[in-house]
Chain A
């Protein structure tokens, strides 16, 4: 080995263990292959004064692993390309190879913040395949725990919204609220996050004393606590001014982009699956459908305030459930080995992010032939590019956080 006096081409010669950019094509902001689609060609060609900025899969925002390539001109974002797939776990393929009962625990981590809704939708689809009637008490328990989970999810949304904009305090309040609710749910389901509670034909365990005492205790101060938490943010001028007028989504765009849930309601459309296409015992319950942004479309602040309104409605529903809770069994009588008739079923529910649907095909065996999960966050992320045109880089977080995506569901 002769000493080479030529200057070394390797820029970081003192530690060859570090992988550098020119060795790993995949880590470049711009893909190393020529563009293969029209949109790729359009996006990855720079105009005058533009540059790419990569918000990599690891970033301080807390939604999960989402990579966003921003094309910026100075500080304003010209275009935006989200890159998904960093959390793709192949859940649909695993569901095809699982029993119907096993699927309930498989789909929990999809929208991990609101697991019960992720379970509810496939369970409803399987009940349609099997023609199973769920007992009324089980339905009421499902609604009760579901609405608790919705409140927990919206509380977390408030905290994340502030955290993404830089406020470090509201997330502590959100987690206080969320921890109380999930401890309650842990008393009845046994788990804090991925509940695995709903079963085909009912729920797993009945309400117990600890759950009821915690719930009663919490309900007596829930409204006041929620008011105090939201007041922290609602009256904060920086928060409001950062969100007002940013990311306006109007009614027509929302329909064409297949938006559902709070994002659609914040654009003035009173579409809620619980009322538009009732399921479970929601026809018997009284609650309003809050909407915001009539006429002009909804901005980020509308989406945030709408979720605050929804928490109040959820509290109303929980109140009614507690008062009208019937007695009876919590599980329908079903055989251990479930073999539905060959057929297809679709079930959609209103999750905290939007319409959460499952399309299940059965072929007569004890495993579903195909299970397609429709996740609202997946559809809503397409909106970010459109809503961000002309806004600043710092508004990217406001828009994305206000759409409330959860990457587990986006990437399945």
Chain B
């Protein structure tokens, strides 16, 4: 069993090596590598990736791992276990090229929103999409019904505890690159329902938000301004705020 040099496999998932030490993997000749065993590179073999990101209630699930040190998405995104998103960053991962600029321009001008109107803000979102304030001018005309085809999740309306699960699932079903716009006071901070027993005080408690559009409801012009800001984000900041924490001041134990 010769020592295999680190090949292109390593670029795929940097987070999957349990001890984070490529030397150990190479040293043990691949038997310690969780990606692929050296002997059988058969396509039919399942690619076994032990879970190092979370625990299950069953101790022997996912191949039995120790508790992950990351409990919040916030901590995860700052660490290096996050899968790198080659869709957002340049192919060289550091220097954006002209091709990336054009890709960003293309993305910016055809952001397809997901139909995620929950409450009153949905009416203003529809009003922003129809004749008088036309979001079609900036390419956002198809409000996709399926999350697999959408770029932007405009959460318009109060998020309740019952709806939080489906909404997060929608967010996770959307493929990268994706952005989230919190429209209306209820999604920014809980709004007028902050004291209620069944609402979530702001969607940034459950998903990362890129643009906050306040208002109750925000005027369609306000939403359009928010989408302009999002376009700016996509084009100028390569679609990624440098530090994008979850929640403005959500305490650790939440």
Contacts and interface: CB of A to CB of B under 8 A. Distances in A.
Q: Do A and B have CB atoms closer than 8 angstroms in the complex? A: yes
Interface of A: 1-5, 7-10, 13-19, 24, 26-27, 56-60, 62, 64-65, 85-91, 93-94, 97, 105-106, 109, 112-113, 156, 171-172, 175-176, 178-179, 192-194, 407-408, 411
Contact of B50 (A4, A89, A90): A4
A176 B192 contact: no
Given A57-B166, A89-B158, A94 B198 contact: no
B227 to A, nearest CB: 18
A408 B162 contact: no
Contacts of B172: 17-19
A93 B197 contact: yes
6 contacts: A19-B169, A24-B165, A60-B145, A64-B122, A86-B118, A178-B127
B131 A193 contact: no
Interface stretch (B32-40, B86-94, B205-213, B228-236): B32-40
A18 B51 CA distance: 12
B124 interface: yes
A105 B192 contact: yes
B49 interface: yes
B193 A87 contact: no
Contact of A408 (B32, B119, B199): B119
B163 A94 contact: no
Contacts of B109: none
B196 A57 contact: no
B193 A58 contact: no
Nearest to A105: B192
Nearest to A160: B126
A85 B212 CA distance: 25
B75 interface: no
B62 A65 contact: no
A10 B62 CA distance: 7
B180 to A, nearest CB: 14
B120 A62 contact: no
Contacts of A172: 130-131
A18 B169 CA distance: 8
Contacts of A407: 119
B137 interface: no
Interface of B: 13, 18-19, 31-34, 37, 46-51, 53-54, 61-63, 83, 114-120, 122-124, 126-127, 130-132, 145, 157-158, 160, 162-163, 165-167, 169-170, 172, 192-193, 195-199, 216-217, 219
Contacts of A112: 119-120, 123
Main SS at interface, chain A: loop
Nearest to B38: A3
A27 B165 contact: yes
Name, among B31, B63, B83, B115, the residue most crowded by chain A CB atoms within 10 Å (CB to CB): B63
A222 B154 CA distance: 33
Given A8-B63, A65-B157, A87-B158, 15 more contacts: A3-B31, A4-B48, A8-B46, A9-B61, A62-B126, A65-B163, A86-B118, A86-B163, A89-B199, A90-B193, A91-B196, A94-B196, A112-B120, A192-B219, A411-B160
Contacts of B167: 58
Given A1-B18, A8-B48, A58 B123 contact: no
Nearest to A112: B120
A297 B140 CA distance: 42
B49 A16 contact: yes
Name, among B131, B167, B170, the residue most crowded by chain A CB atoms within 10 Å (CB to CB): B131
Main SS at interface, chain B: loop
Contacts of B193: 89-90, 94
A90 B199 contact: yes
B116 A58 contact: yes
Contacts of A5: 37, 48
A15 B119 CA distance: 32
B123 to A, nearest CB: 6
Contact of B198 (A9, A56, A90): A90
B160 A1 contact: no
Contacts of A179: 127, 130-132
A16 B167 CA distance: 19
Contact of A88 (B18, B46, B130, B198): B198
Contact of B120 (A13, A109, A176): A109
Contacts of A106: 192
A88 B198 CA distance: 7
A316 to B, nearest CB: 27
Contacts of A26: 165
Nearest to A85: B162
A87 B118 contact: yes
B3 to A, nearest CB: 16
Nearest to A408: B119
A343 to B, nearest CB: 27
Contacts of A18: 172
B49 to A, nearest CB: 5
B215 to A, nearest CB: 10
Contacts of B195: 94, 97
Contact of A194 (B120, B165, B199): B120
A60 B144 CA distance: 8
B161 to A, nearest CB: 9
A132 to B, nearest CB: 26
A175 B127 contact: yes
A24 B168 CA distance: 12
A26 B169 CA distance: 12
Contact of A3 (B34, B117, B123, B169): B34
